[in-house]
Copies of this chain bind each other. A is one copy, B any other.
Amino acid sequence: MTTVGIIGAAGYVGGELLRLLLHHPDVRVTGAYSASLRGKRVDGAHPNLRGHTALSFTDPDDRGAHDVVFLAVPHGRAVEHVRALAGTSTCVVDLTADFRLRDPGAHQRYYGEVPPADDLRAAFTPGLPELYRDALRTADRISVPGCMATAGVLALRPLAAAGLVEPGVVIDAKIGSSGSGSSATTTNLHAERSGAMRVFAPHRHRHEAEVAQETGLDVRMTATGVEAVRGAQVLCHASGKPGLAEADVRRAYRDAYADEPFVRVVAQRRGLYRLPEPKILAGTNYCDVGFSVEEDSGRVLAVAALDNLVKGAAGNAVQCLNIRLGRPEDTGMRFAGLHPV
């Protein structure tokens, strides 16, 4: 049994890590850390876990030793934990943005601050199984990408890798309210957030930098909050290289994802759910990816959808763990998702 600790276990991502790991057959959760809720029952913060755990939160200052530690802390706070864990934990899976960008200059441009701990940066492998599976098998430092970054990379990477589209791509991203976390702010007040179509990042959403990093494309990303709790969707407006045929695009996606356990190609000609949509993915680790090509104009629309808390965060992290442990990647994550919902 691999022992696991979760730092930042009281938040929404922490809750999803707990949900997935408490029933994981190869893992034992030996620490759920939260400074603000220390001493309180875990199922108080995460009522879906009633009957699934008797754990209480522990103060992070009283941290024990674990084989693997997940960091679900605020951005900028991972560094201190990574340093502190150096001696005690074999593997650290970081869900913050601290080590996502390889280029310190990009970090500075997108986060407005000198990146933390450049000495540690090179040790991190991106937590993107579809691109870094081999490296993840032995990685001791894993940096899980942002939710819309994962969607954008999985939507565009096959097109970029096969050289099918021009470099300039517009990404229009939509996301539910859980993406803003569990803190009570006016921004997330139900009466204000309900029914929103709120452009909260007209330019340069931070996940844009990750999509550019992993695809080499010249990406511009706008992000809008829409009415949903979970779920993110990206619409990537691209232009095909001259002569692009739909069959080329379909082949690129099929080739890229035929063996992926958590990427499904959804690109039907008709039907209600003919392109990826997050609502039927809630709670699952899928990233559905699809496309539509208009051959005469060369317009390509690539679409990806996922649950921002699962494939966009906790589930992706657990998939990385499964790879690291040499286990089937869907261990603990066979939930198919709901319909209708």
Contacts and interface: CB of A to CB of B under 8 A. Distances in A.
Given A23-B334, A235-B222, A279 B339 contact: no
A161 interface: no
Contact of A191 (B182, B222, B337): B182
Interface string A184-198: 111111111111111
B184 A185 contact: yes
Q: How many copies of the shown chain assemble into the complex?
A: 4
A227 B195 contact: yes
| Most B CB within 10 A of own CB, among A174, A187, A204, A339 | A339
A162 interface: no
A19 B336 CA distance: 7
Interface in A9-48: 12, 15, 19, 22-23, 44, 46-48
| Most B CB within 10 A of own CB, among A19, A170, A185, A271 | A170
Given A47-B339, A229-B341, A283-B283, A177 B199 contact: no
A184 B184 contact: yes
Contacts of A185: 184
Interface string A74-114: 00000000000000000000000000000000000000000
Interface stretch (A65-73, A298-306, A318-326): A298-306
A328 interface: no
A338 B282 contact: yes
A229 B340 contact: yes
A82 to B, nearest CB: 28
Contact of A303 (B46, B48, B199): B199
Contacts of A233: 197
Contacts of A237: 170, 172, 220, 222, 237
A22 to B, nearest CB: 8
Contacts of A50: 264, 266, 288
Contacts of A187: 272
B170 A231 contact: no
Interface in A284-341: 288, 292, 294, 297, 299, 301, 303, 305, 334-341
Given A190-B192, A195-B341, A220-B299, 10 more contacts: A48-B338, A50-B266, A52-B336, A170-B170, A170-B172, A174-B226, A188-B190, A191-B340, A199-B275, A202-B275
8 contacts: A48-B339, A172-B235, A177-B191, A194-B279, A199-B301, A202-B301, A229-B340, A283-B283
